Amino acid sequence: MIMSELAARLTERRNSVWEQAKALADKAAEEGRQFTGEEEASWQALDSELDALDKRIKNVLAGEQRAKDAEDAMAALRGNPKKKEQERGGAGDEELRKFLRGEGGRTFDVSPDAKVSFRDLSKLSSGAGGATVPTSFYGSLVAHLVETSAILQAGATVLNTSSGEALQVPKTTAHSSAAIAPETSPITESDPAFGQVSLGAYKYGTVIQVSRELLTDAGVDLEGYLAMQAGRALGNAFGAHALVGNGSGQPRGILLDATTGATGPTGEGGGFGSQSTVGEGADLLIELFHSVIAPYRASGSCRWIMNDTTAGVIRRIKTTDGQYIWQPSVIAGTPDTILGKPVLTDPNVPDVGLGADSVIFGDMSQFFVRMAGGVRFERSDEFAFNADLVTFRALMRADAALVDLTGAVKTFTGGAS
């Protein structure tokens, strides 16, 4: 069985599990009651299986992409070595390999390639950018960094700068307005309101240790291994701050400046209430959807972001006409949707709770990420000398902030007790 067939079968199984979960919820809804203890246990088991299948599908698709990359590399090696060298960065990659083997200096700067796009960059499928993921070391690192950060996956605007001095970016706090102007009457002046947000360059770092045997084994894709490890570590650290950073000694996370678009009912522990009650359940998500004005909703970077636990709660919510507001994707690697907009999950988004912002929705391109320079790699043969390990340190400087405060991004906030 080839891997694409496996992905298709996993997707088929996922759709089957979703139908079983729907049947449970439909039966309880038709009888006008809550889940029994047995039904609740079954729902939780099915919900957990959905999450597990999501992860398996993601891993299978990532494996397909790695296999394709390896096949392309071997084909280029057999048929056109020059083309392979050009695609992988030519002399720059050879310098990197020398550095990793200890034949160069102790520091190596990995600068961004102009062809690398952070927006929707993912190696999961060609539709999500897999067909355009560059094979350079920097491109591979960025792909893994994006893979672990929902904000970067969602299409945040990334500003690459060569240095790290404070960057003043205008932020919009109010738009101009217009009105009918009667004949001979003066036109009312209405100017947009702007402020400024300063994007600095907070330093993120990770340490990776590699055995000397691995370094000297010519058959090991050391560049790929280091790109994966560094990208995931830096992505996890920065991705958390991009969501919930408090702006003091760390980036301004999107939740710091996003405003409330819908508030949960009181007495529901911060949750969505009853789907059979007007103004609760699906109504709250529809309210949140329409709290973001149409131009932002039409953006290609308009997304929902929540954690997996919240996603499990929303999966069972129906609209007043009995339709599930959550629509599973039938294509492997394509996100599920709510009201036609893709859903991304990130463990750093708060759980549903009193006063908690547990769902984010809006145009994520209005969230700016500043990347100062490339990634600096440093090598030490002495740090773990007694274990015969070579230590690599990866450093990245970045900052972030929401630059449109007029309502481009809204949240669902849990109600009071």
Residue 206's Cβ-count burial label (10 Å; 0-12, 13-18, 19+) is middle
Question: Is residue 82 pLDDT above 60, yes or no?
Answer: no
Clarify whether residues 137 and 271 are in a common domain: yes
According to DSSP, the β-strands at 367-384 and 157-161 are: parallel
The residue among 53, 87, 121 that closes a domain is 87
Residues 66 and 122 reside in one and the same domain: no
Residue 66 pLDDT class (50, 70, 90 cuts): low
pLDDT of residue 264: 94
Last residue of a domain, one of 87, 114, 133: 87
For the cut 70, the answer to whether the pLDDT of residue 73 exceeds it is: no
Residues 121, 42 share a domain = no
The angle at the Cα of 227, spanning 198 to 392, to the nearest 5 degrees, equals: 90
Give the pLDDT band of residue 302 (cuts 50, 70, 90): very high
Q: State the pLDDT confidence band at 364, using cuts at 50, 70 and 90.
A: very high
298 and 408 both lie in a single domain: yes
Q: In terms of domains, do 130 and 15 share one?
A: no
Q: Which residues pair with 108 in a beta bridge?
A: 377
pLDDT of amino acid 120: 38
Is residue 99 domain-resident? no
Residue indicated by tokens 């690192």: 141
Does some domain include residue 101?
Answer: no
Asked if pLDDT for residue 18 goes beyond 70, the answer is yes
Q: Say if residue 138 is in the same domain as residue 35.
A: no
> Is the separation of the CB atoms in 208 and 380 below 8 Å?
no
Instruction: Evaluate if residue 324 carries a pLDDT over 80.
Output: yes
72 and 112 in a single domain? The answer is no
Domain identity same for 265 and 360? yes
Instruction: Average the pLDDT over 222-246 and give the result.
Output: 89
Looking at the structure, do residues 83 and 142 belong to the same domain, yes or no? Answer: no
Tell me whether residue 95 is in a domain.
Answer: no
Average model confidence (pLDDT) for the chain? 79
Domain presence at residue 100: no
**391 within a domain of the structure (yes/no):** yes
Number of domains in the chain: 2
Q: Can you give the residue range of the structural domain that contains 26?
A: 1-87
20-24, 121-125, 199-203, 224-228, range with the lowest pLDDT: 121-125
Residue 358 placed within a domain:
yes
3-state secondary structure 222-252: HHHHHHHHHHHHHHHHHHHHHHHCECCCCCE
Q: Please give the pLDDT value at position 176.
A: 54
Average pLDDT, integer, range 139-156: 83
The 10s digit of each residue's pLDDT in 168-207 is 887 776 655 555 666 666 665 555 566 778 899 999 999 9
Burial 385-395 (b: 16+ CB within 10 A, else e): eeeebbbbbbb
Mean of the pLDDT values across residues 34-47?
84
Q: What is the mean pLDDT of residues 289-299?
A: 93
Looking at the structure, tell me whether residues 161 and 260 fall in a common domain: yes
d(CA 60, CA 67): 10
Domain assignment of residue 98, yes or no: no
What digits encode the pLDDT tens for the residues 396-407?
A: 999 999 998 888
Same domain, 68 and 30: yes
CATH number for the domain spanning 252: value is: 3.90.1690
Q: For residues 83 and 123, state if they share a domain.
A: no
